[in-house]
Structure 1
């Protein structure tokens, strides 16, 4: 419920059985999963153009040219939108909705790229969404072999996410906040996690030059003290290649989060994780009651493991002050 599937036609690398390019394209095999505001925006665009036309057809948005809007046209539309929004805010006395001038220059389409990547990557299952919708794997499949944003290259969205991970360091910052609030911590990588949390800067926003990419990679290459949140496994990974049970590549600087395994020496949990560990088994038991017995038994077994993990945390965890 509440999920919307968007099916679209793509044209790149679409060929027939003889290897000839198909100019009409084809429907993508994997649909986009969107939220309601995105669907509403598409509905508005559908009312602006005739049936069968591209939603961003230049003819209907500018009244000239053919094809679809390019970067320059989109930038003009963004500028017009900001002007309209500020005019409406002033007319309705909504001063808090005014969009201020950016001291670093006009807001353009290219500047949304990093923002979108940051937000998508931090949604539940966001890394998988990026893998499907943007054609790259990042830490999920640890495949850093692409070359541009659209062609799945190393210089594409990989670099953007590396920069954001290095700047935000949000997992370590959240851990520091939880410990400061009195939460307990447990796990074999506790000391390394405490070190990472103590030295991470709080991300409050900054302009990122291209030269920062190398610094970001150096930050992520600090083997053993870079923290990765794994909401599916309900733990934090203080990633260290030599002791990781997820079998990362020799030069990997991030875990295979989809292959997190019990007993790994890189794991850390807090009271927040333990609370979630106790809540999830109830959901699994509820599902088990409504599924065939073989599946239900597996779910109950998994629920028992989660409760045991929560119990282990409760019996072994300590405050950060006690561990220093």
Structure 2
């Protein structure tokens, strides 16, 4: 055969057609060899873990305990629901921690990509757990690994690192630039990072929870609020912590802009300046207890919330928007989607005014449109005058004594 001149391929290619596409093209030209299957399957499971963990907000242990058949679609709402176990705060009859956990009374509400990942896992193997500790037989023997055990967070971490390295090698080999950067401070990817990253993005996106519904394709805002509306999953606590960190970051940047000469206008301008300056005393503050964290979270000097074309210097006694009326709720925040132009809590920084200037330009074009209906033109003309007045007042106030 070798002397015939016919090409010979080493290995045992699978009799499968490569159907996966990247940018409309097959992700590889050659068939998958049998020797590659196990490693590619581990990469696929790791990728499914990323999707489920990141887009559900589950803890790593809750993801790893998911069983076959855990996903269902609610016939009334059409929402995708996942049932599974949780362990935090679960006690047995004697009051001791229950190592077996319990089935979570409220399911997680997830999106279509999560459902697709679960379908892939259920078609990839026959194990009862979606993330088994080992696939099929061992490489060095015909014995099957003990059934009924899930993968561990340590094993998942190694699989995530392997997936990252495989993606980067693939990008290098195919000339792609969308590699996965390696964190210089923590080279190994930890499963807990996805839940924290989700909270990070929600806390730093404008309008918080609503932005999360848009960013992650959630069809219902309640999917992000505690996942089915409760605090039992603990995700709102992590979200609150990320919101606090984001607020401190915003205050540090605001202080730097103020000391560089930024002008602030609006009814709450003076209070804005006071709070930004007073907030600097928290630099280096150590939170030793949950009580310290709650106290810092509700401190009036930290109640500043950037909006769109405005900044809310939140005072619940003067707020014109809707917000929680429960005085015991440490998570009470303004509803920036319901911001009223006459609210006494509004301050406008130079950055806010730049946003308003862009809005003025867009409205000016709409007002000049001769084909626009007259009722809309009148409404836009009124809004244009209002915004121009705010911009002019802000610019005229730069000569005030405090600047």
Q: Call closer, same or farther: CA 1:16–1:195 in 2, change over 3 Å.
A: closer
Cα deviation 1:168-199 (Å, max 9, x = unaligned): 32332232122122221122222322232224
Task: Tell me which residue corresponds to 1:102.
Answer: 186
- Counterpart CA distance in 1 for 2:341 and 2:275 is 22
Q: 2:336 is matched with which residue: 257, 269, 272?
A: 257
Matched residues in 2 for 1:110 and 1:158: separation?
15
Unaligned runs of 5+ in 1: 1-9, 24-29, 33-41, 46-51, 139-145
1:110-129, aligned counterparts within 5 Å? 110-129=192-211
Give the alignment's TM-score, normalised by structure 2: 0.53
The answer to whether the aligner puts 1:81 opposite 2:158 as a matched pair is no
Conserved? CA contact 2:222–2:228, under 8 Å? no
Tell whether 2:299 aligns with 1:222.
yes
Is 1:160 the counterpart of 2:202 in the alignment? no
Residues 51-104 of structure 1 show CA distances to partners (whole Å, capped at 9, x for unaligned) of: x985642543xx552674588586554132244367679999x9x95454738x
Unaligned runs of 5+ in 2: 1-69, 84-109, 132-149
1:29-44 to 2 correspondence within 5 Å?
none
1-structure distance, mates of 2:201, 2:76: 37
- C-alpha separation in 2, matches of 1:192 and 1:99: 39
Q: CA deviation at 1:11?
A: 5.1
Q: How does 1:289-308 map to 2 (within 5 A)?
A: 289=369, 291-308=372-389
List aligned pairs for 1:160-179, cutoff 5 A.
160-168=238-246, 169-179=248-258
Q: Is the 8 A contact 1:237 1:267 kept in 2?
A: yes
User: Deviation digits for residues 189-234 of structure 1, max 9, x if unmatched?
Assistant: 2232223222445999xxx99x765544322312365100111xx1
Post-superposition shift, 1:266?
Answer: 1.4
Deviations 1:22-50, CA, capped at 9 Å, x for gaps: x9xxxxxx988xxxxxxxxx8xx9xxxxx
Equivalent position SS for 2:340: coil
State the partner residue of 2:349.
270
Secondary structure (helix, strand or coil) at the match of 1:130 reads helix
Aligned to 2:364: 285
SS class of match (2:364): helix
Q: 2:121 aligns with which of 38, 47, 57?
A: 57
How many residue pairs are counted as aligned between the two chains? 268
**Which whole-Å CA distance do the structure 2 matches of 1:249 and 1:203 have between them?**
26
Contact 1:192/1:224 (<8 A) preserved: no
TM-score normalised by L of structure 1: 0.64
2:402 is the alignment partner of 1:323: yes
Work out whether residues 188 and 267 of structure 1, in 8 Å CA contact, stay in contact via their aligned partners in 2. yes
Two-structure CA RMSD over aligned residues (Å): 4.6
Partner residue in 1 for 2:228 = 151
What SS does structure 2 have at the residue aligned with 1:129?
helix
